[in-house]
C-alpha cells in the first residue's frame, strides 16, 4: 500500500503500537482561510488596544508615551508571537485554525513543541515573500506546499510539521459514493425516518469501489433492498419534473441505485458518526457476501435504546420487508406498506 500512488491528501502515520492510521492533510484553501481569520483577529486586537489607549490618554494626559510603548509591544506580539504562543499552548491550534478544524502536528503525528511552534511561525516571513510582484502573496509558501506531499510550507519543512484537517469526516468515503445526490427530505417520506446501521453497512458495501459490479447488476441487487427501504420509509417517488421531464427518464434506469445513495447520504451523516447509530439486532446472519445478504436480509427496526430492551420486543416489531409483494410493486413505489 505505501508504494501505490496516492492522489488524495491522506498521510499514513505509524503509531508505537504498530498500527497505521491516517491523517487528512489540510490544503491551501482551508489554511488560507484560517490565515485570514487570524489576521483579522490580530488587527482587531491591535485596533482594540489603540482604542483603549487613546481613551485613556484622553482622560489623563500623562500616559501617552507609556501608551505608545504598550501599543508598540502589542503590535510586536501580534506580528511575531501570536501564532507561536497559540500553537504552543493550544496544542497546535490558533483561533483561525480552530475555526477551520485544523491542527499543526509533527509529521510523525505527535503534537508540536514550543520551539517548533515558534520556528514555523517565524518562517512565515520567508514563506510570505513576494516573488512575482505584489499580487503573488505567499508565493514561496504556496510553491513549497505544491511541491511537497504533505503540503508543507518552508516553515513546516524546516521544523518537520504538517497541518492536518481534523474535521470529523466519517462520511468522507461515503461522500465519494454519494457525490451528486441529494439527501432525502423529510417530506418525501411518510413512514419512520430511520434506517438501522446494519442496513447502511450493507448499502455501503454495495458501493465499495473494489467490488467490480457493473451498474446494471448493481441496480438489480439494489432493487431488492431499495424496494424494502422504500416501503419502510414510505418513500414517495417524485414524478417527472414538469419543466424538464427528460431527466426523469434518464435517471430511471438507475433509480434504485440512486435511491440507496440518497439513503446512505441521509442517514450516515449523523454528527457523532457510527456511534450514534443503533445496535444490531440479534440476528447472526452472515454478511460476508453481499448477494446472499441482500436476499436473506431482514430490514428490522431496532430503536436507539439500550441493548437490554432490544430483545424479544424487537423481533415482534421487526417486520420482514423483503417479500414477494414488494417485487410486484409499481416502479414508482408509492406509499404502500408491506
Partner 1 sequence: MNRERFIRQRRADWQQLETLLTGMKNRRLSRWSGSDVTRLSGLYRSVCYDLSLVQSREWGARLEQYLNDLVAQGHNCLYRSPPRSIDTALKFLSHGFPQLLRKRKNFFFVSLALFAVPFLIAMIIATNDPVVAEQIIDKTQMEQAGESYSKDLYKDIDANYAEERTFMTGFYVWNNVGIAFRCFALGAFFGAGTVVTLLFNGIMLGAVCGYIINQGFSDNFFSFAISHGSFELTAIVISGAAGLLLGWGMIHPGELSRRESLRVHGIDAIKLASGAGAMLVIAALIEGYFSPMALPHSVKYVVGTMMWGLVFVYLVQGGRNASGTETTADGHRHEVSTAHSAEDSE
Footprint (CB under 8 A) of partner 1, residues 181-240: 198, 200-201, 204-205, 208, 210
Pick from 37, 56, 63, 181 the residue near partner 1 by CB under 8 A.
63
CB atoms within 10 A of CB 130: 12
CA distance 41 to 96: 8
- Applying CB under 8 A, which part among 215-223, 245-253, 286-294, 325-333 lies near partner 1? 286-294
**Which of 2, 4, 16, 135 lies at the binding interface for partner 1 (CB under 8 A)?**
16
Give the Cβ contact number of residue 45 at 10 Å: 15
Residue 157 is a binding residue for partner 1 (CB under 8 A):
yes
Stretch that binds partner 1, among 72-80, 216-224, 253-261, 313-321 (CB under 8 A): 72-80
Alpha helices in the chain (DSSP H): 28-59, 64-76, 82-89, 95-99, 114-122, 124-127, 139-147, 154-159, 172-177, 197-207, 215-233, 246-251, 255-267, 290-296, 312-317, 324-327
Least CB distance to partner 1 at residue 167 (A):
10
User: Of residues 98-117, which lie at the interface with partner 1 (CB under 8 A)?
Assistant: 103, 105-106, 108-116
> Binders of partner 1 among 233-272, rule CB under 8 A?
268
Of 33 and 158, nearer to partner 1 (C-beta) is: 158
From the list 121, 125, 123, 99, the residue with the least C-alpha distance to 112 is: 121
Nearest to 77 by CA among 58, 107, 49: 49
How many residues bind to partner 1 according to rule CB under 8 A? 77
> Using an 8 Å Cβ cutoff, are 174 and 204 in contact?
yes
- Collapse the DSSP code of 164 into the 3-class scheme (helix H, G, I; strand E, B; otherwise coil) and give the result: strand
66 binds partner 1, rule: CB under 8 A = yes
Question: How are beta strands 161-165 and 10-14 bridged, if at all?
Answer: unpaired
Work out how close the CB of 111 gets to partner 1 at its nearest, in angstroms, rounded to a whole number.
5
Q: Which of residues 288-307 bind partner 1 (CB under 8 A)?
A: 288
**Looking at 5, 19, 212, 243, which residue binds partner 1 (CB under 8 A)?**
19
Decide if residue 70 touches partner 1 (CB under 8 A): yes
- Judged by CB under 8 A, which of 90, 99, 170, 193 binds partner 1? 170
**Closer residue to partner 1, CB minimum distance, 68 or 216:** 68
- Supply the minimum distance, in Å, between the C-beta of residue 122 and partner 1: 5
Q: Which of 18, 134, 180, 242 binds partner 1 (CB under 8 A)?
A: 18
The torsion angle over the Cα atoms of residues 306, 307, 308 and 314, rounded to 10 degrees, is 100
Is residue 212 exposed (0-12), middle (13-18) or buried (19+ Cβ within 10 Å)? exposed
In the list 45, 46, 158, 213, the residue contacting partner 1 (rule: CB under 8 A) is: 158
* Smallest distance from partner 1 to CB 186, Å: 23
**Minimum gap (Å) between residue 298 Cβ and partner 1:** 13
Answer yes or no: are the C-beta atoms of 304 and 279 closer than 8 Å: no
Among 86, 118, 235, 259, binds partner 1 (CB under 8 A): 118
CB of 48: closest distance to partner 1 in angstroms? 17
The DSSP symbol for 5 reads -
What is the helix (H) or strand (E) element at residue 106, kind and residue range? strand 102-106
Q: Which of 41, 143, 287, 319 binds partner 1 (CB under 8 A)?
A: 287
Residues 6+ apart with CB under 8 A from 280: 196, 197, 198, 302
Task: Name which of residues 308 to 337 contact partner 1 (CB under 8 A).
Answer: none
Amino acid at each position: 500500500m505505501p508504494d501505490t500512488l496516492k492522489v488524495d491528501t491522506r498521510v499514513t502515520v505509524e503509531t508505537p503500537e504498530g498500527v497505521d492510521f491516517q491523517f487528512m492533510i489540510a490544503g491551501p484553501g482551508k489554511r488560507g482561510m484560517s490565515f485570514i481569520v487570524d489576521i483579522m483577529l490580530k488587527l482587531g486586537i491591535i485596533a482594540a488596544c489603540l482604542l483603549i489607549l487613546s481613551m485613556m490618554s484622553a482622560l489623563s494626559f500623562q500616559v501617552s508615551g507609556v501608551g505608545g510603548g504598550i501599543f508598540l509591544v502589542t503590535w510586536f506580539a501580534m506580528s511575531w508571537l501570536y501564532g507561536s504562543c497559540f500553537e504552543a499552548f493550544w496544542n497546535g491550534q490558533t483561533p483561525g485554525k480552530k475555526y477551520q478544524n485544523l491542527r499543526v502536528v509533527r509529521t510523525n503525528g505527535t503534537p508540536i513543541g514550543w520551539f517548533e511552534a515558534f520556528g514555523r511561525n517565524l518562517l512565515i516571513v520567508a514563506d510570505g515573500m513576494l516573488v512575482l510582484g505584489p499580487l503573488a502573496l505567499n508565493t514561496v509558501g504556496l510553491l513549497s506546499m505544491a511541491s511537497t506531499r504533505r503540503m508543507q510550507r518552508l516553515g513546516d519543512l524546516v521544523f518537520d510539521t504538517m497541518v492536518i484537517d481534523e474535521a470529523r469526516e466519517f462520511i468522507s468515503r461515503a461522500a465519494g459514493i454519494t457525490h451528486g445526490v441529494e439527501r432525502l427530505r423529510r417530506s418525501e417520506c411518510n413512514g419512520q425516518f430511520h434506517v438501522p446501521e446494519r442496513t447502511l453497512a450493507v448499502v455501503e458495501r454495495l458501493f465499495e469501489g473494489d467490488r467490480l459490479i457493473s451498474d446494471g447488476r448493481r441496480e438489480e441487487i439494489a432493487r431488492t433492498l431499495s424496494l424494502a427501504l422504500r416501503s419502510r420509509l414510505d418513500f414517495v417517488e417524485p414524478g417527472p419534473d414538469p419543466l424538464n421531464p427528460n431527466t426523469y427518464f434518464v435517471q430511471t434506469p438507475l433509480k434504485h441505485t440512486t435511491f440507496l445513495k440518497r439513503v446512505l447520504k441521509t442517514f450516515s451523516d449523523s454528527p457523532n458518526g457510527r456511534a450514534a447509530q443503533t445496535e444490531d439486532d440479534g440476528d447472526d446472519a452472515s454478511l460476508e457476501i453481499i448477494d446472499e445478504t441482500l436476499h436473506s436480509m431482514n430490514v428490522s427496526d431496532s430503536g436507539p435504546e439500550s441493548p437490554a430492551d432490544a430483545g424479544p420486543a424487537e423481533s415482534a416489531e421487526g417486520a420482514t420487508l423483503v417479500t414477494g409483494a414488494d417485487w410486484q410493486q409499481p416502479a414508482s413505489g408509492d406509499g404502500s406498506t408491506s
